[in-house]
Amino acid sequence: MSPNKLLLSYALRYPAWIILTVILGFSSAIFNGISVTLIVPLVIGFLSRDSLDLDAGPPLIRNILSFFGNSESENGIILMFAAVILAIILKNLTGYVTSLVSFSLAKRLVNDIRKAGIKLILEVDLDYFVKIKTGDLVNKVNQEVGRAASAIKTAIQLFITLITILIFVAILITISWKLTVAATILLMLVTWINQYFVRRSTKFGKVLSDKSRVYSTTLLEILTGIRLIKSVGNEADEYQRIKNFLDEREKAEYQSQANFAILGPINEILGILAILAIVFLGKAFLFQDVSPKALIAVLGIYLFVLNRLIPVVGKLNGQRSQFANASPSTAITANFLRRDNKPFMNNGNQPYQKIEQGISLEDVSFSYPEHQDLVLSQVNLWVPKGTTLALVGSSGAGKSTLADLFPRFYDPVAGKITIDGQDLREYDLRSLRQAMGIVSQDTFLFNTSVRDNIAYGRDNTTEEEIIEAAKRANAYEFILDLPQGFDTEIGERGIMLSGGQRQRIAIARALLRNPDILILDEATSALDTVSERLVQQAIDELCRDRTTIVIAHRLSTIQKADQIAVMDKGQVVEIGTHEELLQQSGHYSRLYTMQFDRGPDDVITQAVNNALVRTSYEVRTRLNPMIGFLQLVVDGLVDNPEEQFSFTEDAYNSALRLLKTLEFFEESSKTEV
């Protein structure tokens, strides 16, 4: 489906609005034509009724004037004057209502298209996001969709303008078709000259869309990687890069506006030249058809109608330029809304209930879309209900890829995964994923309160359930130390919390959901020793009586697993318990030896590292609430002087506790030495 047809399909969802817009636009054009036709006879009749002898004039003018009776009488002039005023009022009233209806229709279209885009983003497979930049998506939903919807609004205005032009042209033809042919040729020349600027407008519109996309993508990358930028001192280079994009975008916007602004002056100059030419031609064409007495009146009516038509033609050219300028966005939006060029997971129709026997992987092979190399090859595993399967192996062995197959982020290219003998592809996706809890090393938290993050994805959660989940996840104590407890806003991606605290919030979230199947993807790999111990305790609580898949680099965290599968190059090369695998002296034994066999120097180094880690953890634990208290005061969120003093005092006390903690560790280190 072409871009215009796809967007037109959204517009046709509101046929009543479109019909109303067309009717109002047509009515406005009719009232405009009546007022234009009557004004010149009214003025001439008011100044000199003898000059209003149009009995030999064009039929249209004679018929309109005959409606008002004897136009040379005082009553005829008054009636004509009232008709002109009424026509002008109705013309502007219908034009105003048309603008409101057109604006409302455009807003509805923007909302509909954005909703469709957001719905598509939420439904499309993860593989789509691997191939596209987030900033590009944001630009499409925000900028390109708005410009595409404005193109539909401009198309409706174009149609209304065309109706007005046709009515004016009909009036001109009835006055003199010869003169109208000549005027049309002149106006076509004006339009041909305008076409050059329309083509330029299309070019600038495409450039502007490209620059806006690159700018949005670059800005999002800078915001996402701000920590890295600051850590390497690259602020100046990044500023220069975004500055160059802004300058290029400003230049494109200026060129687009300059191109659009020049249309008015050019149309005015060409219009005046066309009118002067028509005056000379009109005398020659009308001299034989109209009496000399009425020549001035008829030529005046013609020129007045034509003079009102020329701005409408200029408006049409401007609208064509706007439509052409928005056409690249129309194509971008239409391609974005297409579903046939994006990956979507087929949904089963069987609701997931509860695991009764276990999970089976039968000859599972997998390669990423558009890649030929297999990441997994003929994997066979059996995970009984209520047991823990640990996946270990070197980086790139396929552990995380295998874990992604359980919630159907991807489907195997060969073989199948079943729960109680039922293929995962036959289950309803929503019910299947709601029965799974996933905790990974890259924990995502929303920029909202701790309470909302714990309760995310679960409706009708009570305060008691949230507190209980926090306690079981070893998170309750540090949450209470936050400035506003469970109501504390934790910042973008939970930046106010440490890594271990974020992990425990994620575990509390999983505990609250009470998943049937649990997937832990290196949940403790990025943590220090103290945080790892606290998180591991929370994980042990989370895994109790659940079917669990664990991916771990630290073998100390999975020694109690019911079975351990060792992966290498996408295949399961060993499987068994911790003791069984050590006795085999294979891959697992070598991994274990590399992690745990250390000399005396390594032991001392590890002890020092543990002390440093413990100190770091304690310092961060004391600093977090202190920073939170001070942030509230600095941001001006506390208006009451007493509350300001209270928060400042709390921060002071936290600083004292931090100082005592550091003194304690200093004395401890001296004693150990």
Q: What is the pLDDT of residues 476-492, one digit of tens each?
A: 888 888 888 888 887 77
For residue 374, the tally of other CB atoms under 10 A from its CB is 17
Cα-flanking dihedrals φ and ψ of residue 559, to 5°? -65, -25
Alpha helix ranges (H) inside 48-144 = 59-66, 74-123, 126-131, 134-139
Torsion angle, alpha carbons of 127, 128, 132, 135, to 10: -110
466 Cβ neighbours under 8 A, 6+ residues apart? 451, 454, 455, 486, 508, 512
Q: How far apart are CA 195 and CA 203, in angstroms?
A: 13
Q: How far apart are CA 373 and CA 371, in angstroms?
A: 6
> What does the pLDDT read at residue 672?
46
4 Cβ neighbours under 8 A, 6+ residues apart? 330, 334
> What does the pLDDT read at residue 523?
63
The arrangement of strands across the sheet holding 414-419 comes to 376-384, 358-366, 414-419, 422-423
Residues 338, 140: contact at Cβ < 8 Å? no
> Using the 8-state DSSP alphabet, how is residue 203 labeled?
H
Residues 538, 504: contact at Cβ < 8 Å? yes
Q: Which residues of the chain have pLDDT under 70?
A: 1-8, 40-76, 286-295, 297, 493, 523-536, 596-654, 656-673
The amino acid present at 369, given as its one-letter code, is P
Q: How far apart are CA 25 and CA 226, in angstroms?
A: 52
3-class DSSP state of 188: helix
Decide which of 2.170.130.10, 3.40.630.10, 3.30.428.10, 3.40.50.300 is the CATH code for 358-587. 3.40.50.300
Q: Which residues pair with 366 in a beta bridge?
A: 376
The amino acid present at 633, given as its one-letter code, is V
Terminal CA-CA length for the chain: 77
Q: How far is CA 303 from CA 45, 87, 169, in A?
A: 17, 19, 12
Q: What angle do CA 536, 537, 541 make, to 5 degrees?
A: 110
- Residue (of 505, 604, 591) closest to 556 by Cα position: 591
- Residue (of 162, 155, 265, 143) closest to 205 by Cα position: 143
472 Cβ neighbours under 8 A, 6+ residues apart? 508, 511, 538, 541, 542
Give, to the nearest 10 degrees, the angle between helix 263-286 and helix 177-224.
170
Q: Which residue carries 């409606």 as its tokens?
A: 67
**pTM beyond cutoff 0.75:** no
Cα-flanking dihedrals φ and ψ of residue 364, to 5°? -80, 125
> Using the 8-state DSSP alphabet, how is residue 28 labeled?
H
The arrangement of strands across the sheet holding 571-576 comes to 436-440, 517-521, 547-551, 388-392, 563-568, 571-576
Tokens encoding 517: 């199947």
Q: Which residue carries 């002898």 as its tokens?
A: 53
Domain residue spans of the chain: 3-337, 358-587, 600-672
Q: Which residues pair with 571 in a beta bridge?
A: 568
Tokens encoding 25: 């636009």
- Residue (of 484, 554, 494) closest to 524 by Cα position: 554
Decide which of 3.10.150.10, 1.10.10.10, 1.20.1560.10, 3.40.50.720 is the CATH code for 3-337. 1.20.1560.10
> What does the pLDDT read at residue 365?
92
Tokens encoding 279: 């005056």
Cα-flanking dihedrals φ and ψ of residue 638, to 5°? -115, 110
> What does the pLDDT read at residue 599?
47
Residues 315, 161: contact at Cβ < 8 Å? yes
The alpha carbons of the chain give a radius of gyration, in whole angstroms, of 38
Q: Which residues pair with 163 in a beta bridge?
A: none
Q: What angle do CA 569, 570, 575 make, to 5 degrees?
A: 100
Torsion angle, alpha carbons of 560, 566, 572, 577, to 10: -30
DSSP 122-144: HHS-HHHHHHS-HHHHHHIIIII
- Residue (of 328, 327, 333, 324) closest to 112 by Cα position: 333
Q: How far is CA 553 from CA 278, 399, 526, 565, 669, in A?
A: 87, 10, 10, 13, 31
> What does the pLDDT read at residue 620?
54
Q: How far apart are CA 31 and CA 39, in angstroms?
A: 12
Q: How far apart are CA 668 and CA 474, in angstroms?
A: 27
